[in-house]
Structure 1
Amino acid sequence: MLLVATDLGAALTAVLLAAPGWGWALVLGVAMIGIRVAARLYRRRLWLSYYHDLPRSITSAAATFGLVAALAVVLGEHDSAIRAIGVTVGLFFLIGALPRAAVFQISRWARRRFGRGERTIVLGTGSLGVDLARSMLDMPEFGLLPTGFIDPSPPAHGTDLPLPLLTGTLDEAITAERTGVVVLAYTNATDAQIVDAAITAHSRGATILTVPRMWELYSDSADIERLRGYPLVRLATAPTERPSWWIKRGLDSLLAAIALVLLSPMLVAAAIAVVAESGRPILFRQDRVGLDGRIFPLLKLRSMRPVDEVESQTRWNIAGDPRIGPVGRVLRRTSIDELPQLWNILRGDMSLVGPRPERPGFVAEFSQVHDRYWARHRVPAGLTGLAQVNGLRGDTSIADRCRYDNYYIANWSLWLDLKIILLTTREVVRSGQH
């Protein structure tokens, strides 16, 4: 935040000195800050170095001038306006240089003097993990405060650990140690163990830094930190920890409320049809597993005659069941039976987009059989999902669904949600035409 405040002050000063006009001042301010955001100049980092960021900062300034000057040319502005744009960008870069370097210097000093760093667990007690832990202790200016090791394999006999070996699972240790960062430095672990550890840390909201295999060949980038020459790849934070997730939640509530209002005539007509075909109840409630394994009652319009609770929770698929009448078949084919889940979304049980929720019994069964099925519950369940728009509905491969769902979580963005909603709309329209 200090870097953002520094650049905002530099932008305001540059605009006042160069006087490009208030219209262009606004455009320049948005472009200067926006391009620096896109260039990852405000990212979290271990290595606080002005010179390390200098090439990226120069490139951002050049891109800002090129973009805004091109806009000025298109709009037919005079050379004087383009010169003013150039002067503003140049002043912004020069004015912000010293305060930015000072922010880095003060931050490094504060980390050393006051121990301002994030509590860190190191996974791995081999030479790599031990060396990294000692580096963190010797160089607190990198902002990592190691609290202990975790390793499924006992350390080699005679290994001198600079920190205690923590007991219990990683999940338990993150909570007990109030951990903000997990460093993956296994030397003998399998790929599956490393991935499972990363997903666990991810689901607990911890920052994940991992030493890549063949780390000697890695060059610097915005996602790679350096600790005494070791490259540490910073993995993306959990979707639920990002500011854009709150936008998703707000849009979920807004769109679900609007959809319930607009679709209320259809829901009333469907409810009347259900009663006419097979009586009450209109809604069908079924326990499903959502975010962090929490169970919630999922709502549907009933598409067949009532069944007992045991069948509801244990029968996998009712396609072709003779109890499904004409109304039920239409509701299922057009997915109208799923519309009451808009209320689940409004309540916060679900999201518009996410992994489809499953019943507790099947979650327990699939988690034993399919790799990382449990990891789907890192985000709320969805009315539709990436697996469903790729044809994985009904009696289809659970392994494929799991793979798509975990891909969705790892690559989540607001754009991916919009894409899935558009694809879902296309599929619903197509099904209604048959």
Structure 2
Amino acid sequence: MTELSTSAPAGALPRQRRRRPVVTVRKRPLLARINAVVVLLLAVDFASLLIAVQVADAGLTEAVVAGSALVTARVAGRVHRRRLWLSWLQDLPRSMAASGFAFAFVTGVALVTGPSGQGMSAGQWLVLVFMALSESARPWVFALGRWGRRRLRRCDRAIVVGSGESGGELIRTMARYPEFGLVPVGFVPSTSDPLPVNLPVEVFHEGLAEAIARQGAGTVVFAHSRDDDSSVVDAAITAHRLGCVTLVLPRLSALYPDRSGNDRLRSHPLVWLPGAPTARPTWWVKRTVEAVLAAVALCVLAPVIALCALAVVLESGFPVIFRQVRVGVGGRTFLLYKLRSVRQDSVDDSQTRWSVAGDRRVGPVGRFLRKSSLDELPQLWNIVRGDMALVGPRPERPVFVEEFSAVHDLYWARHRVPTGLTGLAQVHGLRGDTSIADRARYDNYYIANWSLWLDLKIVILTVGEVFCRRQR
């Protein structure tokens, strides 16, 4: 990224920016936010594991190995996931496959570490006993869950977005079959389709945010509509921002197969959309690891930063550190720190000038710092402070955030997560005066597909970009 800017990139035509209303969401009671079926499934597996350890008479080592294999396999297999369709037979292959992977792992350990010809080990018996106990209890858990949804109304309040017959049919199905865990409380019509007839819920023309706030909804279901994709994505991001789970009725639903990440509302296939990355436990792992790495890097690279600072002083004097207001997560601003690579001028145009490419104020030291990205090193302090992350969308200046949000669809959505020192767009060559639309697409792809592995991959690619950067 650059310190200065002359004008917006080519093709950026100003237009009225769409303002998002500030709404106050009615917080749902804690009991309503707890998924009873998930809790019961976890309790059944925990109790089954404890009993299996006793029945198999496993030692500490075997119990730890077998228990760890079972927990890992069943968590990775998402056996305890939240679901609409409570069907033991539908879920049986997934559950058995997860336990089968654990059994195969324990068998491999037993073959390597145990004497031959001794029959099955205690660890193998432990897994088999666990499988028998867990699978015999899971049908009762699902039956109890269906009963609780029907009789006790243990259902999540849902809002349907879209129009046409598909939206009305979803609402009527939810109302008729509460055992799928959704009770319809509102409908948000699209702008182009006719309203379904005889809807048993309130229609909200004010928008999705207002509907969620007034009804305290926890789930948003997107039906078919003729709206453009950007409007639907905008609504889905709004739902995530307000803490809602989102499901989508896919196109060609009659041809849509059951697979991981899908669910069923009677005959309607629904796709679970992942929520905000910042709400996941692994995000705190990211934050902790990045803060520690940034602090260590600051200490290790302190001599390099000092040498760069000395070179800046010798070329153009003080100050050494360049401070600039940037926009971070949630639209909040912060001061970003860089080593100054541009000579001081009587007029400070750093907040409104887009690029310094070819600027006579950039001397040899400045060009080297910018080409090598050494001028970015003080941003490690921003990471330690929590203003930024190591990996994330690059931060931009407020004036350009305002302009790009008006011109490029979903540019504003980049600010769902903290900005970063490096990002997916940067490792794909989108640095300096490059396409803003492409950057926004890469950044939103990063957010939608975020994982610790994706962050690690971006860091590895960044190292290669810095040391093996080709002239573009």
Tell me if TM exceeds 0.5.
yes
Q: Which of these residues, 297, 302, 309, is aligned with residue 271 of structure 1?
A: 309
Q: Which of these residues, 130, 134, 137, is aligned with residue 96 of structure 1?
A: 134
Q: Which of these residues, 379, 384, 396, is aligned with residue 346 of structure 1?
A: 384
Q: Does 145-154 or 45-54 show the bigger shift? A: 145-154
Could you tell me which runs of 5 or more consecutive residues in structure 1 were left unpaired when the two chains were aligned: none
Q: Does 349-358 or 262-271 show the bigger shift? A: 262-271
Partner of 1:234, secondary structure, is strand
Partner of 1:80, secondary structure, is coil
* Deviation at residue 431 of structure 1 after TM alignment: 5.3
Residue 430 (str. 1) matches residue 430 (str. 2): no
For residue 423 of structure 2, what is the aligned residue in structure 1?
385
Structure 1 residues 259 and 173, CA gap change in structure 2 (3 angstroms): farther
TM-score when normalising by structure 2: 0.86
Residue 238 (str. 1) matches residue 295 (str. 2): no
Give, in whole Å, the separation in 2 of the partners of 1:126 and 1:158: 6
For residue 67 of structure 2, what is the aligned residue in structure 1?
29
Give, in whole Å, the separation in 1 of the partners of 2:346 and 2:142: 65
Residue 410 (str. 1) matches residue 448 (str. 2): yes
Contact 2:164 2:196 in 1 (8 A): no
Aligned alpha-carbon RMSD (Å): 2.3
Contact 1:20 1:81 in 2 (8 A): no
Could you tell me which runs of 5 or more consecutive residues in structure 2 were left unpaired when the two chains were aligned: 1-38
For residue 362 of structure 1, what is the aligned residue in structure 2?
400
For residue 138 of structure 1, what is the aligned residue in structure 2?
176
- Structure 2 counterpart of 1:89, which letter? V
- For residues 76-116 of structure 1, give each alpha carbon's deviation from its aligned partner in whole angstroms, at most 9, with x where no partner exists: 53343635344322211111234333332333333333332
Structure 1 residues 298 and 175, CA gap change in structure 2 (3 angstroms): farther
For residue 226 of structure 1, what is the aligned residue in structure 2?
264
Q: Does 334-343 or 198-207 show the bigger shift? A: 198-207
Give, in whole Å, the separation in 1 of the partners of 2:345 and 2:181: 58
Give, in whole Å, the separation in 1 of the partners of 2:385 and 2:310: 25
Paired-residue identity, %: 53
Q: How many matched pairs? A: 433
Structure 1 residues 41 and 158, CA gap change in structure 2 (3 angstroms): closer
Contact 2:218 2:244 in 1 (8 A): yes
Partner of 1:161, secondary structure, is coil
Q: How does 1:31-430 map to 2 (within 5 A)?
A: 31-80=69-118, 82-153=120-191, 156=194, 159-307=197-345, 311-430=349-468
- Structure 2 counterpart of 1:322, which letter? R
* Deviation at residue 32 of structure 1 after TM alignment: 1.3
Partner of 2:93, secondary structure, is helix
Structure 1 residues 309 and 355, CA gap change in structure 2 (3 angstroms): farther
Give, in whole Å, the separation in 1 of the partners of 2:186 and 2:426: 42
* Deviation at residue 119 of structure 1 after TM alignment: 2.3
Partner of 1:349, secondary structure, is coil
Contact 1:118 1:144 in 2 (8 A): yes
Structure 1 residues 427 and 391, CA gap change in structure 2 (3 angstroms): same
- Structure 2 counterpart of 1:411, which letter? N
Structure 1 residues 38 and 291, CA gap change in structure 2 (3 angstroms): same
Give, in whole Å, the separation in 1 of the partners of 2:196 and 2:159: 21
* Deviation at residue 231 of structure 1 after TM alignment: 0.6
Give, in whole Å, the separation in 2 of the partners of 1:162 and 1:94: 44
Contact 1:108 1:142 in 2 (8 A): yes
- For residues 255-284 of structure 1, give each alpha carbon's deviation from its aligned partner in whole angstroms, at most 9, with x where no partner exists: 111111222222223223322322222211
* Deviation at residue 336 of structure 1 after TM alignment: 1.4
Give, in whole Å, the separation in 2 of the partners of 1:20 and 1:80: 15
Choose between structure 1 and 2: higher helix proportion. Answer: 1
Structure 1 residues 361 and 88, CA gap change in structure 2 (3 angstroms): same
Contact 2:186 2:204 in 1 (8 A): yes
Q: Does 143-152 or 67-76 show the bigger shift? A: 67-76
Partner of 2:191, secondary structure, is coil
Structure with more relative contact order (C-alpha pairs < 8 Å, separation 6 or more): 2
Give, in whole Å, the separation in 1 of the partners of 2:189 and 2:62: 57
* Deviation at residue 158 of structure 1 after TM alignment: 8.0
